[in-house]
Amino acid sequence: MRKTWDRARHAILFEVVLLGISILVLNLMLKQPSAAIGKTAVTLTILAMLWNAVYNYLFDRLLLAFKRPLYPRGFRLRAVHSVSFELGFMSITIPIVMFQLGLNLWQAFLFDLGYVVGVPIYALVFNWLYDVIFPAPSSPAMAGAGD
């Protein structure tokens, strides 16, 4: 199991590298000043963290209200959770992207869609590389356990 400082390093590196990549790629794609793109990327990062906390709290409360167990969560429930999270997040961020970058609704939608598709791919690659560069310590309980 990873230690607290390792989890903090992971979270900080994840966000810093994502911001750097976002600013670089979006600057090339949108031909907008780096400052405007950086401001938008930071705004989206902060909103994603806040939305994550609020959404997961509300989702759990909804499950309990419908007398559904919180765990285990099967594939279908996880898919509903993920898709509804992203749709809710996009409803929050599209107007912000329109305002901060001066985009129309369609352009802001495509911008957000790029994040919705790109960030999970980035997360997969980042987490794989992080595990290669900073391997988790072995535990006796996990010895011999498959991946």
Please give the model's pTM, rounded to 2 decimal places: 0.73
In a domain, 87, yes or no: yes
pLDDT tops 80 at residue 58: yes
* 61-99 per-position pLDDT tens digit: 999 999 988 788 888 998 898 889 999 999 999 999 999
Contact (CB, 8 A) for 92 and 51 = yes
Tell me the pLDDT band of 139, cut-offs 50, 70 and 90: low
**What's the CA gap between 106 and 93, in Å, rounded?**
13
Q: What is the pLDDT of residue 1?
A: 76
Q: What is the pLDDT of residue 142?
A: 46
In a domain, 140, yes or no: no
**What's the CA gap between 4 and 2, in Å, rounded?**
7
> What's phi and psi for 125, nearest 5 deg?
-65, -45
In a domain, 44, yes or no: yes
- DSSP assignments along 29-81, one per residue: HH---HHHHHHHHHHHHHHHHHHHHHHHHHHHHHHHHTT--SSS--HHHHHHH
Total domains in the fold of the chain: 1
Domain span holding position 53: 4-134
* 7-37 per-position pLDDT tens digit: 889 988 998 998 889 888 888 888 888 888 8
Q: Is the dihedral of CA 120, 126, 127, 128 positive or negative?
A: positive
In a domain, 139, yes or no: no
**What's the CA gap between 64 and 79, in Å, rounded?**
18
